[in-house]
Structure 1
Amino acid sequence: MKLKGILLTSLLALSPLLAAEKSLQQQIDELNDRVDQNELQAALSKVKFGLDFNASMNNFFINNNGTSDTQANKWLMGLYLNMNADVTKYAKFTGRLAMTKAFGDLSWMPIGTPITTLDAGKGVSGGAAIYVERAYVDLFLGDYWALTVGRLPGTEGPGYNLRNGAARMSTYPALLVNALGDGGVITFKPYTDAALRAGFAKVYQPLYNTVNSGAGSVFNESGGYSQADMNLMFAAFETPFLPKSAGKSLLMLSYMYISNYSLPNTAILSQVPEGIQNQVSQALPDSDATNIGDLQYANIHLENFNLAGSGFNWFFSFTWANATNGHLPVTLGVIPSSTLFDQKGSYALHVGARYDFGRVFKLGYEYFHGSKNWYAFSRVSANDPMNIRNTRGDVHDVYAIFQIDPFQFFRLSYTYLHRDYAAAATYGAPTATDITTQNLSVAYIMRF
C-alpha cells in the first residue's frame, strides 16, 4: 500500500508536465500546418498572371480579277492569358493560353492563302477553343548560358510591336517565323546586351485520319507518320546597334532551316481535279502526310524605339528564302513532279514607322512586299486576319492609336493588300493574279 501511494503521488506530480508537453506538441503541430499553408501560398503566388483582350470590327472590300465583293461588319475577338513565374533563381516559367473567335460568319478566304494551316485552325476562323500558344522554361546555366525548353515563343515577334502597342512579344522576328513549335534553344550571352542562340523545334501540324490509321497517333507502331514530322533548326545573333541615347534598339541576324515540310494528303487531294483523284490517292504514300520539300530563310531585322527621345519608332525586316523540292510521288499529266514550292529564291520586305504625339495619340504606317515565289512561315491572328506576311505582292497599312490609359487603347486602321501572284496553293510555279483586298477596321485592345 505504501508503494502504491508513492506511485500515485508521483503520477499526480507528473500530470501537469504531461499536459504541458501535450499542449506544446499541439502548438508545434499547428505551427507546422501554418508553415505548410504559407509555403503553399508562396508557391502559388510565384505565378503572376496578365491578360490581353482584343475585339475588332472589320470591313473587307475585295476585287478578285474584276469581280467585287464586300464583307462588312465582321467581328473578331482574341483572349490571351499570360503567365510568368520565377520558380528559383535559376529557373523561370513563361506561358500563354490563347483563344481566337470570329463572329458574323467570317467566311471570306483570300485566294492564294497558305498551303496549310500551321496551328490546326486556331486562327481567326477557328473555333472558340483555348490552346497553349507558348509554355517554356528558361534554365540559367551560370552567368553566360541559358537553356529554353518547351513550346517556344515563336508567335508575334519583332515586327508586330508598333501596330499592336506592345513590347517585344517573342524572341524571333515575325518575318522569319510566326508559328507554334516545341523544342529547345541554347543561348549564350557574352555580355549583357548581346546574345547568340541556336535551337531545334518540332513545328505543330494537324494529324489527319485515314482509313488505315484510325485515330491517328504520332506513336503509331505501324509507322507511316514520320513524314508528318516537320523539323525546324535555327541560329540567331542579336545586339543593340545604336547608343542608348538614341533610344532602345535591336539588330537581329537569323537563319532558319525547315526540313520535311509535310502537307496533309487530304489537302493534296483537294487541289487535284476530280477525274484523277483516285489515281493520285493510290500514288500517295500510306500515311497522313507527304513531304513536299524543305525551306530555308535568312533574315535581318532592325528596330528602334523613341529615337533620341523624339517619339519616333521604326523597324526594318528583310528575309531571303529558298525552297527545295521533296518527294511528291505524283507524275500524272496535269500535276508536275515538282512540289507546291517553286525551286527559286524569293524575298520579302517589311518596314514600319510610328510617331507618338505624346501619350494619347499615335500615328503609324507599314509597307510589305513579297516576291513572286515568296512563302512565309506565318499564321493569321486577331491583329492580322489577312496574314499580310504571306502576300505575293504589296501591302500598305495606315493606323491611328488613341491611348485611353497605359492599359487600353482604340486602333483605327486601313489596310490595302494587292496580290500579284497566288500564294503556294497550287502545284508548280506561282499563278499570276490580280486580287485587291481592303480592310477598314476599328479595334479595342486591353493589356495588363
Structure 2
Amino acid sequence: MQRTITRNLLAGLIASLFIPLGAQAADADLLKKIEAMAKEIEALRAQVQANQDANKQAIADVREVKEKVRKNEDRSLEKWLTVGGDYQFRIDSLAGETNAFTDVNATFANAQNQLQAAFFANPSPANAAALSGLMNFAQGIAGVQTYSQAQTFLGANAAMLGAIGGYAVTVPAYKPKNETLYSNRFGLDLNMKAAQDVSVTARLLMYKTFGASDEGALTNSGAAPFFADRVGVFDGTVGHIPSSSFLNVDRVYATWSNIAEQDIWFSVGRRPSTNGAPNHLRANTARPGTGGTPALLVDYAFDGMTVGWAPDIDALPGAYGKICYGRGYESGFSKALTNSLEDTDMLGISVVPIDTDPLRVWLQWNRGMSIFDAPKMASTYFGTTMPKTNLGDIDWYGAGALGTIKNVGRGKLNWFADAGMSVTHPNDNVSAQFGFQGLMTGAFFNPEAPSSKTGTAIYLGLRYDLPSKTKLGLEYNHGSKNWITFAPAAGDSWTSKVGTRGNVYEVYAIQELDAKPISSFMAKSFFRLGFQYYDFQYTGSNNWVGAPVKISDVNGQMMTTTPLSKAYNAYATFEVKF
C-alpha cells in the first residue's frame, strides 16, 4: 500500500510542473491531507495488528479454559459415578397345610432331657448307662462318613434306635399362618468408571422384617423349618432373605471390556447371579443384560468370574456367549487327622444365540462340584450348621426364551418359557448331621445306596402391559419328583418357587404412578399386588439332602423339616426405583 501512495505522489509532482502556481498551492494542501491519511492508515494497520495479537491470545485463553473445564468434568462425580437404587415395602399374608411327622430335632432333645432328668433324680447304674449310651450314640453318628459305614453303625445300634423311638415327638398336621408380615428392603446401586474400558459395579442391600432383626419370621423360629432354603441366612442368600438392618454387599465386581478392541469382556467379584431372567417381569425391572443367569437354574449370590464374547453376526443379532465360575463354599486349609472338605464350586456355560427386544433365546449348562450338605448358618433350629461332608456333583441343563409382542389389543404382551433338567452324581458319602442321607438319596436313619437322580422343571409366564401403566401377570411352574435347583436367594417368602416339587401358580398386578422421573429417566414408583398358590407333590423342595417322599405318603415319618402339602401367599408391595 505504501508503494502505491509513493507512486501516486511522484506522479503528482511531475504533473505539477505543467500546471499554474495557483494550482500548485492547492496541491500542497492536498499533499498534507494525503500525508495525514497515510499516518492514519499506518495507525490503523498497527491497531489491526494489535487486535490480531489480542485475538490470538484470547483464543489461546479460551482453549486453556476449555481444557481446564474438560479436565474438571473428567474428574467430576457425574462423569465417572452413577448412583441408583430401590426401596420396597412389602406385606405378606402366609398360610399353609402340613402333614403329620416326627420331628427329629425335638425327638433327640426330648430323649436327652428325659434321660438327664431321670439320672439327676436317681443316679442309678441303669440311668447312667442309658444317658451315656445316648451320648456315645450321638458321638458315633458324627464319625460316620459313607453309606457302608452308616449301614454298619445302624446295625450295631439297633437297640438304641428302638429306644429313641420311645421319645419320639410327633407333630400333628396343622395349618401354620402369619397374617401380616411386614418388611423393608433397600438397595443402593453404584457404577464407577475407573479407566477406559474398566469399571466397578456394586450393589448394597438391606432387608429386614418389621419388629425383628433376624430371619425368624420366615424360618418357623422355635420349630422345625418348612424348607431347606429357609432354615437361616447364609452367604448365598444374605440380603435376599429378611434378616437384619445391616447394609450388606450384595454385588461388587470389576469389568474389563473391549479387550483387544473386540466385544470381549472379563469380570470378577461378587457376581450378578441373583434375580435373573425372567424374574424382571414380575419385579418390574429392566431386562438383564449380558450379566446374570436364568432364574430357573441359579439364584444364588456367588463370588466368581466370567469371560464373555459377543460376536458381530448379522444373522444372530445380539448373540453372545460366556463361561462363568463361582465358589459357593470355601473349605479352608486341609486337615491332617480327619477327612478334609472340598471347596464347593460352580462352572457354567451360557449361550444366547439371539438377544433383541422382540426375542431372546438362551441355552445354559451348569455343574455344581463337591456339593456340601449344609451351609454355614448361625442360630438356626439345628443350632449352628456348617458343611460336614461333600455329597457329590450336580449337572443342570436349561433352555428358554422370552419376548415381546406389540399391539396386542391396547397394549403389549410379554411372554417367557423356560425348561430345566437336573442330574445328580452322588459319591459314597452321607450326611451324618442329617441322619445318613445322601445326595437325593435315603431318609433319616434309613440310608440308600448312591444312585443318580434326574429331575425336570418348566416355568411359563405372561405379562400384559396397558397404556395406563397397568401390568397384569400370570406365571406357572412345575418341578418333578427329583427336581433340584440352586436358587435359595429367590424373593419368594415361603420358599423359592422354582425349586418346588409340584406346581406353583401366581397372579399379580402392577400399577405404576404417573409421576415425572427426577433422579434418572429409569426412575419410577409402583404398587404390586399378587397371590401365590403352592401345590407340593413331594417333600424336600429346594433340598438336595435326602430322597423325596410323596406328600400323600407322609404320615409320621422322622423328618428334619415340616412337610407342607399346600401353601398360600397373598402379598402387596410399594416400590420406588431411583
Shared fold, TM over 0.5: yes
**Residue pair 1:302, 1:315 contacting (<8 A) in 2 also:** yes
In structure 2, what is the Cα distance between the partners aligned to 1:348 and 1:184? 27
Q: Could you tell me the TM-score, scaled by structure 2's length?
A: 0.60
Instruction: Give the unaligned 5+ runs of structure 2.
Output: 1-64, 100-172, 442-450, 515-522, 552-563
CA gap 1:185/1:325 in 2 versus in 1, 3 angstroms:
same
In structure 1, what is the Cα distance between the partners aligned to 2:211 and 2:402? 37
Q: Which of 194, 210, 214 is 1:103 aligned to? A: 210
In structure 2, what is the Cα distance between the partners aligned to 1:329 and 1:36? 64
**Residue pair 1:118, 1:379 contacting (<8 A) in 2 also:** no
Q: Which amino acid aligns with 2:325?
A: F
Q: In terms of mean alpha carbon deviation, does 355-364 or 438-447 score higher?
A: 355-364
The residue that corresponds to 1:211 in the other structure is none
- Give the 3-state SS of the residue equivalent to 1:186 in structure 2: strand
Matched, 1:400 2:509: yes
Q: Which of 364, 367, 390 is 1:257 aligned to? A: 367
The residue that corresponds to 2:268 in the other structure is 149
Matched, 1:437 2:437: no
Q: 1:297: Cα distance to partner?
A: 0.3
The residue that corresponds to 1:3 in the other structure is none
The residue that corresponds to 2:354 in the other structure is 240
The residue that corresponds to 2:390 in the other structure is 291
In structure 1, what is the Cα distance between the partners aligned to 2:297 and 2:376? 27
Q: In terms of mean alpha carbon deviation, does 128-137 or 420-429 score higher?
A: 420-429
After TM superposition, list the pairs within 5 Å mapping 1:31-50 onto structure 2: 38=72, 41-42=75-76, 45-50=79-84
Q: Which of 90, 95, 104 is 2:197 aligned to? A: 90
The residue that corresponds to 1:64 in the other structure is 98
Matched, 1:161 2:261: no
In structure 1, what is the Cα distance between the partners aligned to 2:548 and 2:308? 38
CA gap 1:249/1:233 in 2 versus in 1, 3 angstroms:
same
Q: Which amino acid aligns with 1:48?
A: T
CA gap 1:79/1:178 in 2 versus in 1, 3 angstroms:
same
Q: In terms of mean alpha carbon deviation, does 383-392 or 36-45 score higher?
A: 36-45
After TM superposition, list the pairs within 5 Å mapping 1:68-83 onto structure 2: 68-83=175-190
Q: Could you tell me the TM-score, scaled by structure 1's length?
A: 0.76
- Give the 3-state SS of the residue equivalent to 2:204 in structure 1: strand
**Residue pair 1:114, 1:390 contacting (<8 A) in 2 also:** no
In structure 1, what is the Cα distance between the partners aligned to 2:364 and 2:336? 38
The residue that corresponds to 2:61 in the other structure is none
The residue that corresponds to 1:358 in the other structure is 467
Q: Which amino acid aligns with 1:231?
A: D
**Residue pair 1:151, 1:183 contacting (<8 A) in 2 also:** yes
- Give the 3-state SS of the residue equivalent to 1:240 in structure 2: strand
Q: Please list the CA deviations of residues 270-293 of structure 1 after superposition, one character each: whole Å capped at 9, or x if unmatched.
A: 999xxxxxxxx9xxxxx9531012
In structure 1, what is the Cα distance between the partners aligned to 2:338 and 2:404? 49
**Residue pair 2:424, 2:439 contacting (<8 A) in 1 also:** no
Q: Please list the CA deviations of residues 29-51 of structure 1 after superposition, one character each: whole Å capped at 9, or x if unmatched.
A: xx9xx999948942675111101
- Give the 3-state SS of the residue equivalent to 2:299 in structure 1: coil
Q: Which of 276, 283, 307 is 1:186 aligned to? A: 307
The residue that corresponds to 2:477 in the other structure is 368
Percent identical residues: 23
Q: 1:262: Cα distance to partner?
A: 1.2
Q: 1:225: Cα distance to partner?
A: 9.6
The residue that corresponds to 1:338 in the other structure is 438
After TM superposition, list the pairs within 5 Å mapping 1:199-214 onto structure 2: 199-204=324-329
**Residue pair 1:54, 1:382 contacting (<8 A) in 2 also:** no
In structure 2, what is the Cα distance between the partners aligned to 1:135 and 1:223? 37
In structure 2, what is the Cα distance between the partners aligned to 1:75 and 1:181? 28
The residue that corresponds to 2:412 in the other structure is 311
In structure 1, what is the Cα distance between the partners aligned to 2:206 and 2:93? 22
Q: 1:298: Cα distance to partner?
A: 0.5
**Residue pair 1:74, 1:104 contacting (<8 A) in 2 also:** no
Q: In terms of mean alpha carbon deviation, does 192-201 or 293-302 score higher?
A: 192-201
Q: 1:124: Cα distance to partner?
A: 2.5
In structure 1, what is the Cα distance between the partners aligned to 2:88 and 2:412? 25
- Give the 3-state SS of the residue equivalent to 1:162 in structure 2: helix
Q: Please list the CA deviations of residues 232-266 of structure 1 after superposition, one character each: whole Å capped at 9, or x if unmatched.
A: 1111111337xx6xx43210001000101112498
Q: Please list the CA deviations of residues 154-199 of structure 1 after superposition, one character each: whole Å capped at 9, or x if unmatched.
A: 0000021111111124521111211111222111111161101112
In structure 2, what is the Cα distance between the partners aligned to 1:252 and 1:225? 40
The residue that corresponds to 2:249 in the other structure is 132
Q: Please list the CA deviations of residues 128-147 of structure 1 after superposition, one character each: whole Å capped at 9, or x if unmatched.
A: 22222211122120223211
**Residue pair 1:197, 1:236 contacting (<8 A) in 2 also:** yes
- Give the 3-state SS of the residue equivalent to 2:76 in structure 1: helix
CA gap 1:123/1:90 in 2 versus in 1, 3 angstroms:
closer
CA gap 1:234/1:240 in 2 versus in 1, 3 angstroms:
same
**Residue pair 1:83, 1:94 contacting (<8 A) in 2 also:** yes
In structure 2, what is the Cα distance between the partners aligned to 1:83 and 1:225? 42
Higher CA-based Rg: 2
Q: In terms of mean alpha carbon deviation, does 434-443 or 81-90 score higher?
A: 81-90
Higher strand share: 1
CA RMSD of aligned residues (A): 3.4
- Give the 3-state SS of the residue equivalent to 2:370 in structure 1: strand
In structure 1, what is the Cα distance between the partners aligned to 2:353 and 2:337? 44
CA gap 1:143/1:223 in 2 versus in 1, 3 angstroms:
farther
> What is the number of equivalent residue pairs in this alignment?
385
Matched, 1:302 2:373: no
Instruction: Give the unaligned 5+ runs of structure 1.
Output: 1-30, 208-217, 273-280, 282-286
The residue that corresponds to 1:113 in the other structure is 228
